[in-house]
Structure 1
Amino acid sequence: MDAATSRKLDTSNFQERAADGLRQMIISGELEPGLPLSEVSLAETFGISRTPIREALKQLQIEGLVEIRPRVGTFVVVPSRRELNELFEMKQLLEGGAARLMAARGEVSELAAMRENVRQADAAVEAGDTARYEELVHDFHEILIAGADNGKLATHYRLLMNQLAYGRLVHTSLSQPGRSIASEHEHRTVLELIAAKDGIGAENCMRRHVHASQQALMSQLDS
């Protein structure tokens, strides 16, 4: 391998590492919506040159996580109310479809994992452990997507979740009084319908659950 090829591979690896790190920082809320992003500061944070940082930011712009404004700067995207509503509409379709597909598969390993998730979530809600319940909400939806056993659906779902920065939104929606209890009841109902192989019922219930989360989120944002 010549030196030029080696440098190209190094740049590609650095870009991927920076993109992965920045993506996670945005999704988790560590980098808040509207925050300006400095190539110099990010290069120092990741211990790499500005070139792979610049390329990583371009990739995240394609994914809908950052906005690059020529001659102004680069910023973490602030989704509009319309964009949030559109993303949640897509979430309804994808997760509803995943519930229907999982129900058709019968007694698969993901169903056992979902049962255990709901059991632990019941305990977390009863104990008032919102932080733990937030983790279990994330896991429930991940199990659902895995249970659908559809790679294309999973790929589109990952992109959507990144654009939603869903972890931050879950925290906001669950801060609505009574939402954790309602959310866990909705999860349990979805589980029961999937276990009963009621694909249509599971899909409709999952879509209602996503819609209820959306309403809770919007209510908290308005307040």
Structure 2
Amino acid sequence: MQEPTGSTRSPLQQTSMQAKVAEELRQMIISGELPPGSSLSEMALSQNFGVSRTPIREALKQLQIEGLVEVRPRVGTFVAVPSRREITELFQMKELFEGAAARLLALRGNVPEVEQLDAAMRAADEAVRKGDPERYEELVHEFHDLIVVGADNSKLQAHYRTLMNQLAYARLVRTSLAQPGRLSESDHEHHHVLDLIRAKDGDGAERVMREHVRRSHQALMAEMDKERYGS
């Protein structure tokens, strides 16, 4: 609801409102609801969220720090459009984080996350059989998230979350899975990673997880080139 004209909020309320606005905008960008290049007008956002422009401005500053928003002086504020180099660098970091997470999870043995991965893979197999990329996309996020959580390393998890926000990963997964044959390839690669985790093979789990991330990156770039050049 629009706050009354002339109303005042305590500093604590302003901070809370800023955090809420930042989180909602963050999710809208990550999901693709606000696509790359979208204009972010403080006035329009203020009206949409029913708040003053101050928490909007502060939220946008926070998202700029996270790499999700780009401010162009004397032009405006926009959802960031990552360059190919930025995407490549972020995927290189993703490979390191997820490879390490797979190793750590494998070394922990039969922990609850391993059983949850089994359940996620059964659901993913069904999505592949039905040719349901939307459902499979959801399960991709669940699979990778379970591996990172299962690593049981809070520092790794915190840095990984920041990286995933910068990647706007959901949108990129959707693009990579559009590559012909990638759905079943991705599912097979996930099974290989899980087999090595269950075998408590930390070296193998890290190696195969890193290979999987590289293949995902390759599929993404190939599909982006197809969209760009129309081939």
TM range (shorter): over 0.9
Question: Equivalent residue of 2:10, what SS?
Answer: helix
Indicate the residue corresponding to 2:5 in structure 1: none
- Alignment pair present for 1:183 and 2:183: no
- Alignment pair present for 1:196 and 2:199: yes
> Given the alignment, which residue of 216, 219, 224 partners 1:221?
224
Distance in 2 of aligned mates of 1:148 and 1:46: 37
- Alignment pair present for 1:117 and 2:110: no
Indicate the residue corresponding to 1:57 in structure 2: 60
Distance in 2 of aligned mates of 1:178 and 1:166: 20
TM-score normalized by the length of structure 1 = 0.97
- Alignment pair present for 1:83 and 2:76: no
> 1:48-90: per-residue Cα shift (whole Å, max 9, x none)?
1000000000000000000112222111100000000000000
The Cα RMSD (Å) is 1.0
Give the counterpart letter for 2:58 in structure 1: E
Distance in 1 of aligned mates of 2:48 and 2:157: 31
Deviation at residue 188 of structure 1 after TM alignment: 0.3
Distance in 2 of aligned mates of 1:28 and 1:124: 20
Distance in 2 of aligned mates of 1:165 and 1:18: 17
Give the counterpart letter for 1:50 in structure 2: R
Indicate the residue corresponding to 1:47 in structure 2: 50
Q: Percent identity?
A: 63
Indicate the residue corresponding to 1:140 in structure 2: 143
Indicate the residue corresponding to 1:11 in structure 2: 14
Distance in 2 of aligned mates of 1:10 and 1:147: 35
Distance in 2 of aligned mates of 1:181 and 1:70: 45
Indicate the residue corresponding to 2:41 in structure 1: 38
Distance in 2 of aligned mates of 1:187 and 1:65: 28
> 1:70-118: per-residue Cα shift (whole Å, max 9, x none)?
2221111000000000000000000000000000000000000001111
> 1:100-155: per-residue Cα shift (whole Å, max 9, x none)?
00000000000000011111101110111111100000100110111000000000
Deviation at residue 6 of structure 1 after TM alignment: 5.7
Note the residue ranges of structure 1 that are not aligned, 5 or more in a row. Answer: none
TM-score normalized by the length of structure 2 = 0.93
- Alignment pair present for 1:172 and 2:169: no
> Given the alignment, which residue of 22, 26, 50 partners 2:25?
22
Richer in helix (by share): 1
Indicate the residue corresponding to 2:3 in structure 1: none
> 1:150-186: per-residue Cα shift (whole Å, max 9, x none)?
0000001001000110000111000011000000000
Distance in 2 of aligned mates of 1:160 and 1:195: 27
Give the counterpart letter for 1:54 in structure 2: R
Distance in 1 of aligned mates of 2:154 and 2:73: 36
Trace 1:153-168 onto structure 2 (pairs within 5 A).
153-168=156-171
Deviation at residue 44 of structure 1 after TM alignment: 1.1
Give the counterpart letter for 1:129 in structure 2: D
Deviation at residue 202 of structure 1 after TM alignment: 0.2
Distance in 1 of aligned mates of 2:144 and 2:71: 31
Query: Runs (4+) of structure 1 moved beyond 3 Å?
Result: none
